[in-house]
Amino acid sequence: MNSTKLTIAISSRALFDLDESHEVYESQGVDAYAKYQIEHEDEPLEPGEAFDLVRKMLKINETLGEPAVEVILLSRNNADSGLRIFNTIEHYGLAISRAAFCGGQDPWRYVRAFECDLFLSLHTEDVRGALEQGVASASLMPTSGNADEETEEIRFAFDGDAVLFSDESERIYKERGLDAFTENERNSAHTPMSGGPFRNFLRALQHLQSKFPPGECPIRTALVTARSAPAHERVIRTLRDWRIFLDESLFLGGLPKGEFLRSYGADVFFDDQQAHCDSASEHVATGHVPSGVANS
């Protein structure tokens, strides 16, 4: 983690809608794709799944008057075919100046070198590679839902087990059932859980939140978990032990998360379980975190 700023790495397909040109790549190959991009390099691309989140995060720098957030482009394009992407960045006025164009190779190799706190992509294998490097990462899913209101506030939502926390408790649930899970969480209520892949990102977010005067921070964070009493106590005590504060915590006891995420107004929700992600993506932007026992 870069202690001076929060750094987000984003794939070109997550930032912009490259579906049309990707179809050219899939059907005609890399040479036809490169030719297509060069021929259209003065035509701006449409926004992608992560565009609004990136735009809002970069606006924080204007609000604070300092470079508190950096967004870095990681792309499988080469620089020649990637010129259209940089032209589109300029078209939308996004303050993105650093990039790695990898010429068909794995872009996640550079997440540690850029000291990234978060990596967002549409390519699951890239996400897995970044997770193995210890960087919070998620594969963004197509979203059918629209926010009830447009706001400049940035609202992050996180699942608990295997996202903010390790999957140690979830493994007990998967292997031995709900009763064993509940008993373990009750007996371990005063024992903090180990951190999951998004703990350090949440910590970086909290550091960014601390730069704002009380009541003026545009960033909100929420835990949205299937846990309920009595398994809530260990969660609360773990976050307290980490000295991490969440703005909202929803203990849903197995209820579907989608409507709650829509009511919260999440800009993005991170969950490790594909079924939960499929449901949530009907309401809000959703990132699948391919970690933990659910993805073994």
Question: Is 80 known to be catalytic?
Answer: no
3-class SS of residue 30: helix
Alpha helices in the chain (DSSP H): 12-15, 19-28, 30-39, 51-64, 83-91, 124-132, 168-176, 178-187, 199-209, 232-242, 258-264, 274-280
From 126, 159, 167, 272, the catalytic residue = 159
Question: To the nearest 10°, the Cα dihedral for 202, 207, 209, 211?
Answer: -170
| Interatomic CA distance for residues 34 and 73, integer angstroms | 18
Tokens in use for 296?
A: 């073994």
Which residue, 280, 274, 278, 275, is CA-closest to 250? 280
Q: Which amino acid is at 185?
A: E
Burial 147-186 (b: 16+ CB within 10 A, else e): eeeeeeebbbbbbbbbbbbbbbbbbbbeeeeeeebbebbe
Contact in structure between 274 and 250 (CB atoms under 8 Å): no
138 DSSP β-pair partners: 120
* Helix (DSSP H) and strand (DSSP E) numbers for the chain: 12, 12
The whole-angstrom separation of Cα 63 and Cα 65 is 6
18: exposed, middle or buried (C-beta count within 10 Å: 0-12, 13-18, 19+)? buried
DSSP 213: P
Contact 230, 187 (CB under 8 A): no
Q: Mind telling me the catalytic residues? A: 159
